Amino acid sequence: MSFDIYATPRGAVRAMFLRSAYATPDEIRLDLSNFEKSTKTLRVNLQGPSKTNLWTLIFTDLEREIEAGTGKFEEYYFNISTWFDGRLWEIYSIHGREIFNKTVDRLVNFSSKLEHAFIPPKFMHELMENYGHSQEMTRFSAKRDYFTLTVTNPGFVPISDFADLRYASANVPKDYEILVVKGRPVGPLMLNSVDLRIRSADKECKVRITVDGFLSQVGRGDREIYFDVRQNLLQFFEKQEKWANYFPKIQLEEVKDVEKDVIIRSKKVIQPSRLFTITLSAALDVSQVIKLRGLFASNLKTSQFVGTVEKERPNESFMIRTTDLRGGGDVIITAEVGKSDVLIHPIVTTTIRTLERVYQVILEKFDVDAMFVGPSSTP
């Protein structure tokens, strides 16, 4: 029987938002046995749906026996709520991120039909602006290809190595401005996560948001504030759902030629495509265009995109039809030296996941800031 973890009064709650190509959570049952074989240390049971259309995933950790010799192992419970006709999953629990990493993240990496929903830095910026003086940044992390920089309030023990830099700070918001927004003494960084302490009257809650679709309470706090942040995030995802209105749609038609006694099949465009734009903070130079071309034409390992160059003027411009190898669909990308806009042309196989992935790759791998701009509501 499914039960709602959000209704339990105790414990900090966390949620992972995923893009899903499954029609319903029930379809994932067919993949769970193969997932169990691949992990060897996890067993998974899917229960539901409940009367409120709630599902429950139960992971059994075969590496953690509760009591030696009993055959009883640690179990982790997660609820699944679906949004937008099942295209977005919210998997939530009271377990910490390390348990999500051990269970849900491994399932996402296994299934080509699931992908972490991308929460761009722009959303985090806007959330901070919306809460204004009611919020205080207490921690952030930023990253680029080869390292992550984490800044926390005093009291944190500094740890550093070549890939992960951490230190305590007396003024986290100031360091955020210097390291991520303005000065950038260590080079271009993409905001990866942010901790906000949000106050409302005499109530307080600390929340963490990360770019890979994770929203959590940090410690115990007022859950209503957490739900308010969650509602802001769902509204953001709802706006993205409207992107599909600008993807091309075709309809197959059959016409019978009576004289020749044959059926002629054709495709009719019933919804035309509209351009999306990723606007960079500076115009592209030759080296940047070459790098951008490489990211989406043949960068299997780094970006997990592979594409076909359809048009090109060497060292000047290109048009690439690229495929997301994570199962996120296809899209056409064009760019030109001297222009700051990278144009995204949706095709029939484009999905919201495709656009999120393209935007995320450019932010993570490209050494400039970028803003994703959808089509206007009118042609």
According to the model, what pLDDT value does residue 158 have? 58
Asked if pLDDT for residue 352 goes beyond 60, the answer is yes
According to the model, what pLDDT value does residue 159 have? 59
pLDDT band at residue 161 using 50, 70 and 90 as cut-offs = low
Per-residue DSSP letters for 62-109?
A: EEEESSTTS--EEEEEEEEEEETTTTEEEEEESS-HHHHHHTHHHHHH
Tokens at residue 50, please?
């409940």
Query: Given the DSSP bridges, would you call strands 147-152 and 164-168 parallel, antiparallel or unpaired?
Result: parallel
According to the model, what pLDDT value does residue 121 have? 93
* Residue 258 burial (10 A CB sphere; 0-12, 13-18, 19+): exposed
pLDDT band at residue 255 using 50, 70 and 90 as cut-offs = confident
One-letter amino acid for residue 308 of the chain:
T
According to the model, what pLDDT value does residue 162 have? 61
CA 299 to chain centre: 20
pLDDT digits (tens, 9 = 90+) for 291-325: 999 999 987 677 789 999 999 999 999 999 999 98
pLDDT band at residue 206 using 50, 70 and 90 as cut-offs = very high
One-letter amino acid for residue 202 of the chain:
D
Range with the largest mean pLDDT of 76-90, 187-201, 258-272: 76-90
Range with lowest mean pLDDT among 22-31, 57-66, 176-185, 263-272: 263-272
pTM of the model: 0.90
According to the model, what pLDDT value does residue 170 have? 86
Q: For residue 16, what are the CA distances in angstroms to 76, 135, 215?
A: 15, 22, 6
Neighbours of 352 (CB within 10 A): 23
Asked if pLDDT for residue 152 goes beyond 80, the answer is yes
Coil, strand, or helix at residue 129? helix
Q: For residue 366, what are the CA distances in angstroms to 53, 248, 303?
A: 41, 28, 11
Strands of 305-313's sheet, edge to edge? 305-313, 317-324, 329-336, 341-350, 276-280, 370-373
Coil, strand, or helix at residue 286? helix
| Domains of the chain, earliest start first | 5-116 (3.30.310), 121-242 (no CATH), 275-373 (3.30.160.690)
> To the nearest whole number, what is the mean pLDDT of the chain?
89
Q: For residue 53, what are the CA distances in angstroms to 26, 70, 94, 178?
A: 11, 34, 20, 46
Query: Quick one: average pLDDT of 165-192?
Result: 87
Range with the largest mean pLDDT of 102-116, 169-183, 244-258, 262-276: 102-116
* Burial letters 28-63, b for 16+ CB under 10 A, else e: beebbeebbeebeebbbebebbeeeebbbbebbbee
CA 107 to chain centre: 15
> What is the percent of the chain where pLDDT is above 90?
61
Range with lowest mean pLDDT among 41-50, 57-66, 188-197, 360-369: 360-369
According to the model, what pLDDT value does residue 216 have? 96
Query: Quick one: average pLDDT of 273-302?
Result: 88
Asked if pLDDT for residue 378 goes beyond 60, the answer is no
Asked if pLDDT for residue 379 goes beyond 50, the answer is no
Coil, strand, or helix at residue 134? helix
pLDDT band at residue 377 using 50, 70 and 90 as cut-offs = very low
Calculate ∠ Cα 99-120-6, nearest 5°: 40
Q: Yes or no: say if 359 and 118 are a contact pair by the CB < 8 Å rule.
A: yes
Query: Quick one: average pLDDT of 343-350?
Result: 93
Neighbours of 288 (CB within 10 A): 17
Q: Which residues contact 362 (CB under 8 A, 6 or more apart)?
A: 278, 292, 295, 342, 370
Task: Give yes or no for a cis peptide into 49 (omega within 30° of 0).
Answer: yes
Q: Yes or no: say if 364 and 144 are a contact pair by the CB < 8 Å rule.
A: yes
- Nearest Cα residue to 269 out of 216, 346, 200: 346
